[in-house]
Chains A and B, each alone.
Chain A
Amino acid sequence: MSFLCEVLLGGMLSGVLYALVALGFVLIYRASGVFNFAQGATVLFAALTFVSLLERGLSFLLSFVITLAVLVVLAITTERLVLRPLANRPPITLFMATLGLSVLIEGAAQLVWGTQVHGFDLGISEDPIFLGPVLLNRFDVVAAGIAAGLVILLTLVFGLTRIGLALRAVADDPQAAESIGINQHRVLILVWSVAGFVALVTGLIWGARLGVQFSLSLVVLKALPVLLIGGFGSISGAILAGLIVGAGEKLAEVYLGPIIGTGIENWFPYVLAIILLWFKPDGLFGQAQVARV
């Protein structure tokens, strides 16, 4: 029984990190209705910028602040050069634009910092810790704590302030939002900046575990099933789906892996997502699309 708990809890801790990756997508989707394929590349870009500054002898805090400033500049540039000219275009056009943006960011990162793997230590040990009879990885626990803290912080910011309302208003109808005085450009820059901040935290946690390298941009593949299960525009959905995916893939790996074969954790979340979509096409917390026909 304690082994099952161990697998389940270990999986859920990983799941919080998946939720963190998905959160970057959710924020942008909520504000602009765009599935931002460049979020994975932004994670890589943020981690590479941070590590490069750290390697040049800057302190952790200064590197973090400068990287954040760079991400805000990236958000402003994206809003001005990509989102604003493509306003009122179909979602597929914006999706393709973010695909192009993803390639551009990765290319720029490669040009500036090269392709070598950067080792990076967050200073959190991987020693095991005991939660009663259950054995857990200390890094997983701390990383999940940071991710959970960030999710709570953002939920409170968007829930308690007018920013959350403005964000949803812009997502629903940008023209009407402008007509009541909401500056949609500022809202979009803010949201893309916050998504950049989330990408930075994601990049640091994942980078500390895997090394800061180009495969980091593939974390997007971990976020996809989470988004499908949780619903693209829901923060709560992303959290719950992250936990489901994390726990599901670990349970599948341990109990189904020996029967089906190794590597099951890479595709099992997609199977979960497809099964759920049969019953809930908009995800667990997704808003059903209503249209006058």
Chain B
Amino acid sequence: MSDDGFKNRADGVARDALRVSAVNLSFGGNQVLQDLSLAVPAGGITAIIGPNGAGKSTLLNVINGLYQAQSGQITLFDHAPIDQAIQTRHARRIAELGVARTFQNLALFKTLSVRDNIRAGRHLREKSHWFAQWLGLPAARREKRCEEEVVQQILDELRLTLWADLPVCELSYGIQKRVELARALAAEPRLLLLDEPMAGMNVHEKAELAVDIRQIRDRFGTSIILIEHDVKVVFSLADHIVVLDYGRKIAEGDAETIRQHPEVLAAYLGRAKREQRQAEGVQA
């Protein structure tokens, strides 16, 4: 992957990689996101945390264009705001603006090999026409060689070379999670959305992936939004933390601010107390 071209784009004029303004989304009578506004600084790692059902993954789906909110605006980098009430769902167009993502529940191309999954992630980067590829014209061949190098580099960096030519459906959950990250990275995104990338990993694997995520930010200047339940990992990794509860933003700031925020403590401790009471009820 070429570090330079990638980093230059991320260092552009946009101070915020993403601005979410007054977004509302409900499914039936269930208000999932309530008047939600937040900003994601460019070139940093922003973590979104909150109890289950807080609306974290839903927010990512709105940013990514898989869901369409009923009202509000999403602004990506220095592009014109995307009015949620007007725009239809548009995941492909959001990808074209430089957003890539991983999913909470794996969304890999299961019949393809690891290598082909990463190659598929390069879809928007391929410029030569399919007819030129078919004819094997020099420019198309050059591009293909370059693509193969990029894919190999990603395989090496995310320690996936050993499984490169195996179908992903034959791999363990933890490795599949890394393949999904590799596929997202292959698009050379300006904004990377990671939805619980460490789910199902052991402590050692989590530590390795945390290093990888930090390197992605440092080397490529990629802005990252991270959803993660392991608060310890979040506090060590994130530059900026946003806390959601019942679709509302209850706090944001750095790790220290969040640790001491009364509403955050109430949300988490309240949940812990509720769970403890439920457990006692079951035992009784």
Chain A interface (Cβ within 8 Å of chain B)?
156-157, 160-163, 165-166, 168-169, 171-173, 175-183, 233, 287, 290
Contacts and interface: CB of A to CB of B under 8 A. Distances in A.
Contact of B134 (A156, A165, A169): A156
Q: Which 5 A-B pairs have the closest CB atoms?
A: A176-B107, A181-B124, A172-B109, A181-B95, A161-B130
A173 B136 CA distance: 29
B66 interface: yes
A165 B119 contact: yes
B54 interface: no
A283 to B, nearest CB: 14
A157 B131 CA distance: 8
Interface centre among A165, A175, A177 (most CB of B within 10 A): A165
B183 interface: yes
Interface residues of B, number: 33
Contact of A172 (B112, B133, B134): B112
B74 to A, nearest CB: 15
Contacts of A173: 107-110
A176 B101 CA distance: 9
A180 B108 contact: no
Nearest to B193: A179
B92 A181 contact: yes
Contacts of B167: 287
A166 B91 contact: no
Contacts of A175: 66, 91, 107
Given A165-B120, A181-B92, A182-B92, A172 B187 contact: no
A169 B92 contact: no
Interface centre among A156, A163, A180 (most CB of B within 10 A): A180
Contacts of B110: 172-173, 290
B72 interface: no
Given A165-B120, A183-B92, A176 B108 contact: yes
A53 B219 CA distance: 62
Given A165-B120, A181-B92, 14 more contacts: A162-B133, A168-B112, A168-B116, A169-B123, A172-B109, A173-B107, A178-B66, A179-B91, A179-B95, A180-B183, A180-B184, A181-B124, A182-B92, A290-B169
Contacts of B187: 180-181
B95 A172 contact: no
B88 interface: no
Contacts of B130: 157, 161-163
A251 B284 CA distance: 74
Contacts of A163: 130
B64 interface: yes
A168 B109 contact: yes
Interface in B116-153: 116, 119-121, 123-124, 126, 130-131, 133-134, 136
Interface in B65-87: 66
A258 B184 CA distance: 62
B235 interface: no
A157 B132 CA distance: 11
A10 to B, nearest CB: 34
B240 to A, nearest CB: 24
A168 B119 CA distance: 12
A181 B127 CA distance: 13
A181 B136 CA distance: 24
B96 interface: yes
Contacts of A290: 110, 169-170
B100 interface: yes
Nearest to B100: A180
Given A180-B187, A181-B124, A183-B92, A161 B112 contact: no
A180 to B, nearest CB: 5
Given A162-B126, A162-B133, A178 B112 contact: no
Given A157-B134, A160-B133, A180-B100, A165 B64 contact: no
